[in-house]
Amino acid sequence: MIRLLSLFLALFGLCLPLAASAQIEVDITQGNVDPVPIAVPDFLGDDPETRELGAQIAGVIRDNLESSAVFRALDPASFLETQTDIDYEPTFADWRVIRADALVSGRVVRDSPGRVRVEFRLWDVFAGQQLEGIRFSTTAANWRRTAHKSADAIYKALTGEEGYFDSRIVFVDQRGPKVNREKRLAIMDQDGHDPQYLLGGSDLVVSPQFDPGSQTIVFMSYETLPPQVYMLDIETGRRELLGSFPGMTFAPRFSPSGDALVMSMEQRGNIDIYRMDLQTRSTERLTTDPGIDVSASYSPDGRRIVFQSDRGGPPQLYTMNADGSSPKRISFGDGRYNQPVWSPRGDKIAFVRQNRGKFSIGVMDPDGSNERILTDDYLLDMPSWSPNGRIILFTKETRGRDARAELWSVDLTGRNLKRVDTPGQATDPAWSPLLD
């Protein structure tokens, strides 16, 4: 499933540091209304096979960049210059004419049997200089991940922030009528490619979450009664029941370092948040009030935890120290605040707000200020951040007898709201960290 193929990359040739004279400045903090026009011609090749790979790689790079809405991939039919060797500077004037701000020229070179080198250069068309030059060495079969990694490098060179294209999404695949749903854990590439089931069987599974540093997930499963939290290493397939507690355990989430998790545990109808040390498997109770304390999420520095509690009436968001001390309410608007998730950048908390018969996905600062609603609908749930903290994936369910569940995404500024393609109905998305 994971392509454990070596993927070497090396900066090559002509690579100049990102000079102060670079003309392109892409600001992704404000939600740019005008996507940056970028030209990505099909990568060159010396024979039909490498040319075909080059076309596929460039196509995936264009799709990735375009999907971010930060870039607009120009139509290759509009290109004036056809480069024959990417080691020479392009004719910048030809690219300025078609209003490309940036140009990616690449090639695929046959290496040892079954292996290829994929090289590309990223050019600032207006400054007339190279911004990035990278060579990947990999198997031909691994061309898709090479394209994702190339798109991440381009995104980073032009925005200054990490990309997210070489990542995957775990979700709950949903089939059957509303009163008899079948749910299974599944995984696919970030762009919807290559969906596969992760588990056989049809036990109800809820809310998978990734370790931010590995390809391991935790989730709640009804395989046992009471239902409990399980851990699954996606690369090895090793699955593990994380403790058989007398009450159900649910809503698990890893600590940033991956050596612990927070989860909720029920005892005689009271629900509190616990921390489990994954080395010793010991648990420590973090909340003690008689209300429902659930949906805990660590800050990326591991020092604070945000969660929801109905200790003061309808559910609201609270933060506390990682040891449970100093709880502090941070949400004060109308309605009910649920399902908080701390951004991997640390600067925002995403949440689900219920108000006036609608559900919204919103973000606020960790102190509760600057609340902003990004989108609303009949039923929204389970926000999950992209690894770079710029995009939020979530579940959207329509109402009624024929209700459908879909995955949608929206960026931090509320722009680029769109459906994420899944093989069937889907809920509970969890975005992986970048792959190695």
Q: Please report whether residue 175 would count as binding other proteins according to CB under 8 A.
A: yes
Residue selected from 99, 303, 372, 399 as contacting other proteins according to rule CB under 8 A = 399
- Checking DSSP bridges between strand 102-110 and strand 36-39, what pairing results, if any? parallel
* Minimum distance of other proteins from residue 7's CB (angstroms): 16
CB contact at 8 A, 251 and 295: yes
* Minimum distance of other proteins from residue 55's CB (angstroms): 19
Distance CA 246, CA 238 (A): 24
Coil vs helix vs strand at 180 = helix
Q: Contacts with other proteins in 7-66 (CB under 8 A)?
A: none
Distance CA 240, CA 282 (A): 15
Q: Contacts with other proteins in 328-367 (CB under 8 A)?
A: 338-339, 352, 354
Q: Please report whether residue 268 would count as binding other proteins according to CB under 8 A.
A: yes
**Phi and psi, residue 219, nearest 5°:** -160, 170
User: 185, 272, 190, 178: which is closest to 230 by C-alpha?
Assistant: 185
Q: Contacts with other proteins in 178-197 (CB under 8 A)?
A: 178-181, 183, 186-188, 193-197
Q: Which residues contact 9 (CB under 8 A, 6 or more apart)?
A: 134, 135, 136, 137, 149
Q: Please report whether residue 232 would count as binding other proteins according to CB under 8 A.
A: yes
Burial of 323 (0-12, 13-18, 19+ CB in 10 A): exposed
Q: Contacts with other proteins in 210-229 (CB under 8 A)?
A: 220, 222-223, 225-227
Residue selected from 114, 160, 177, 213 as contacting other proteins according to rule CB under 8 A = 177
* Minimum distance of other proteins from residue 268's CB (angstroms): 6
Residue selected from 257, 303, 314, 418 as contacting other proteins according to rule CB under 8 A = 314
- Residues binding other proteins: what is the number (CB under 8 A)? 73
Residue selected from 198, 242, 260, 420 as contacting other proteins according to rule CB under 8 A = 198
Residue selected from 36, 251, 278, 330 as contacting other proteins according to rule CB under 8 A = 251
Q: How many helices (H) and strands (E) does the chain have?
A: 3, 31
* Minimum distance of other proteins from residue 429's CB (angstroms): 12
Distance CA 262, CA 4 (A): 30
Q: Please report whether residue 114 would count as binding other proteins according to CB under 8 A.
A: no
Q: Please report whether residue 204 would count as binding other proteins according to CB under 8 A.
A: yes
CB contact at 8 A, 289 and 295: no
User: 387, 430, 4: which is closest to 187 by C-alpha?
Assistant: 430
Residue selected from 150, 295, 331, 360 as contacting other proteins according to rule CB under 8 A = 295
Q: Please report whether residue 373 would count as binding other proteins according to CB under 8 A.
A: no
Closer CB to other proteins, 124 or 272, in the complex: 272
Compute CA distances 288 → 5, 18, 408, whole Å: 48, 53, 35
Closer CB to other proteins, 67 or 354, in the complex: 354
Residue selected from 33, 244, 401, 436 as contacting other proteins according to rule CB under 8 A = 401
Query: 279 is written with which tokens?
Result: 């080395």
Q: Please report whether residue 376 would count as binding other proteins according to CB under 8 A.
A: no
CB contact at 8 A, 9 and 241: no
Closer CB to other proteins, 129 or 375, in the complex: 375
Closer CB to other proteins, 161 or 371, in the complex: 371
Cα dihedral 308, 311, 314, 317 sign: negative
Q: Please report whether residue 200 would count as binding other proteins according to CB under 8 A.
A: yes
Q: Please report whether residue 381 would count as binding other proteins according to CB under 8 A.
A: yes
Q: Please report whether residue 379 would count as binding other proteins according to CB under 8 A.
A: yes
Q: Please report whether residue 244 would count as binding other proteins according to CB under 8 A.
A: no
